[in-house]
Amino acid sequence: MYRVCFVCTGNICRSPMAEAVFRAQVRDAGLDGLVEVDSAGTGGWHLGEPADPRTAAVLEGAGYPLTHVARQFEPEWFERYDLVVALDEGHAAELRALARNSGEAAKVRLLRSYDPDADPDDLDVPDPYYGGRQGFTACLEMVEAAVPGLLSEVAAALDVREAG
């Protein structure tokens, strides 16, 4: 099993969106039983809450199912996950600070680093929380552009594990 956790600020907008999109693509690639997908926030402001209604609406409109309860990333989770995917540089920095060693810190990656068309100097997925629906739609577009590259890396890692 290869385990991936997406992380944003409160785990109600960007990371549940990335989780839903990636889970759908994992399923479509036939990797359902081989890849576990989760999400969390760096903070606990929304613990136990569902995804933001705008996130849910944009995902539903695009055909992505979502069942979600917000949670906060804990340092010991690094042991559980193979990859911890941050939605912006701030999240990546917070996660690396939580890491207890360089191996754990190396598991942290930015989602848009998997988008070959993304500007390497601006890999953040902007937080749509304080804006309107258009920000959530733009967030979904960025997530959808990056997820195929991430899926390719995960599939390659699974091939290496099976060969080893």
Mean pLDDT of the 84-102 span: 98
Which of 3, 82, 96, 127 is labelled catalytic?
Answer: 127
Using the predicted structure, report yes or no on whether residue 54 has a pLDDT greater than 90.
yes
Told to judge if 14 belongs to the known catalytic residues of this protein, a careful annotator would answer: yes
Residue 31 half-sphere exposure, CB side, CA atoms within 13 Å?
A: 23
In this structure, the number of other CB atoms found within 10 A of the CB of residue 135 comes to: 17
pLDDT band for position 163 (50/70/90)?
low
Using the predicted structure, report yes or no on whether residue 80 has a pLDDT greater than 90.
yes
Which of 14, 71, 109, 112 is labelled catalytic?
Answer: 14
pTM surpassing 0.85? Answer: yes
| Partner residues linked to 72 by β-bridges | 41
- Is residue 145 within 8 A of residue 115, CB to CB? The reply is yes
Q: Provide the residue ranges of all domains of the chain, joining segments of one domain with +.
A: 2-163
Contacts of 161 (CB under 8 A, 6+ apart): 2
Told to judge if 8 belongs to the known catalytic residues of this protein, a careful annotator would answer: yes
Q: State the pLDDT at residue 162.
A: 62
Q: What is the DSSP string of 39-65?
A: EEESS-TTTT----HHHHHHHHHTT--
Told to judge if 127 belongs to the known catalytic residues of this protein, a careful annotator would answer: yes
- 2-163 has which CATH code? 3.40.50.2300
pLDDT, tens digit, 9 for 90 and up, residues 59-78: 999 999 999 999 999 999 99
